[in-house]
Amino acid sequence: MTHRRALGIPAALGVLCVICLLSLAIGALPLSPAAVWHGLTDPASSAYPVVRQMRLPRTVLGLLVGAALGVAGALMQALTRNPLADPGLLGVNAGASAAVVTATALFGISGLGGLIWFALAGAGLISVLIYLIGGSGVGSPARLALAGTAVNAALYAYVGAVELLDTDALDRMRFWTVGSLADADFPTVTRIAPFLLLGALLAAGCARPLDALALGDDAATSLGGRPALTRAVAILAIVLLCGAATAACGPIVFVGLMIPRLASRFTGPSLPRILPYCAILAPVLLLGADVLGRVVARPAELEVGIVTAVLGGPVFLLAVVGRRS
């Protein structure tokens, strides 16, 4: 058992490295490994603009966003103990969408640089609202989920109404909503990195307390835990991770839902052991989907959000159906 566990992480990392290389090499212009290397290191190389300025930021962003979504998903499922729960339930996506549609329709902002701050603010604001309605620490997991669903519905209704009243907004939003890595650049990466770093630290900090919380509030308290504090920290971590990821590339919903379920098949239910797997496997899925999206529709590409859903769906189904009930 410990033997398998010791091998698991390096193996997953190996797969991740291969996927990263593929992400640098594959696209409208396929490159050999040597060309990739030159493109990374030699500004004079003809591959330099493609690799260094387009594919490298895209790969780095995919790594960060994927890891963030995977970890946020694991936290969310531990927090709510509900198989229907994904980070979107906390209003992250709906809040970001509402803020982005407001920014596009009312203020005419369209550049990614400006939208990031709106998205992040929207995600943060709405999660706090849902957390407060959902019982701020004392409520049952079902209550939090219900509050999330209610507020989400109201926000999506708002988004839908704005889109239908303003066709330009619809036109921009339909591409933002899909979730894509295509517009990645280094300024985006540096903008979201601090949020992700803080979120990751908080996630690592609350993993063990959340495990205790899985036994119920009373058991957790008797084990020396502080349920309300743990929940607050976990939610803050989710908002930072998922909010920043969504702000950078739009709502990519399925990763946070699927990866923790798959990861727990390797590790069992222990959150401190699930999180590293999530942080590695989620970028594997996201970058893999991104690479595939560049291949199948060449010379155009398929947005990563679409590929993740269509590709991840069957894998998820196999995992669910294959498991004995």
Q: Is 312 in the site for other proteins (CB under 8 A)?
A: yes
For residue 27 the two structure tokens come to: 């696209």
Q: In a 3-state reduction of DSSP, which class is residue 43?
A: coil
286 DSSP 8-state letter: H
Tokens representing 210?
């959340």
Side-chain half-sphere of 165: how many Cα atoms within 13 Å?
11
Residue 156 interacting with other proteins (CB under 8 A): yes
| Rounded Cα–Cα distance for residues 66 and 15 (Å) | 14
Measured at the CA of 309, the angle between CA 87 and CA 183, to 5 degrees, comes to: 80
Q: Residue holding tokens 């990751």?
A: 200
Q: List the alpha helices (DSSP H) in the chain.
A: 2-25, 33-41, 48, 56-80, 92-107, 112-133, 141-165, 167-178, 186-213, 217-222, 227-249, 254-267, 271-296, 304-322
Is 324 an interacting residue with respect to other proteins (CB under 8 A)? yes
Given 14, 49, 83, 216, the residue binding other proteins (CB under 8 A): 83
Does the protein bind other proteins through residue 257 (CB under 8 A)? yes
CA distances to 59, 65, 114, 173, 282 from 16, in Å: 11, 14, 31, 31, 9
> Interface with other proteins includes 21 (CB under 8 A)?
no
Name which position in 32, 41, 46, 140 contacts other proteins (CB under 8 A): 140
Among 16, 163, 242, 262, the residue binding other proteins under the rule CB under 8 A is: 163
Cβ nearer to other proteins, comparing 55 with 172 = 172
Of 28 and 84, which CB lies nearer to other proteins in the complex structure? 84
Provide CB contacts within 8 A for 102, sequence distance 6+: 118, 122, 162
Binder among 8, 135, 137, 205 for other proteins (CB under 8 A): 135
Q: Is the dihedral of CA 118, 120, 123, 128 positive or negative?
A: negative
- Residue 17 Cβ, how far from other proteins at the closest point, in Å? 27
Q: Can residue 149 be called a binding residue for other proteins (CB under 8 A)?
A: yes
Q: Of 170 and 275, which CB lies nearer to other proteins in the complex structure? A: 170
Number of residues that bind other proteins (CB under 8 A): 58
Determine if 127 is a binding residue for other proteins (CB under 8 A).
Answer: no
Nearer to other proteins, 56 or 309 (CB): 309
Which CB, 130 or 202, lies closer to other proteins? 130
**Interacting residues toward other proteins by CB under 8 A:** 82-84, 132-135, 139-140, 142-143, 145-147, 149-158, 160-161, 163-165, 167, 170-171, 174-175, 177-178, 253-254, 257-258, 261, 302-303, 305-310, 312-314, 316-317, 320-321, 324-325
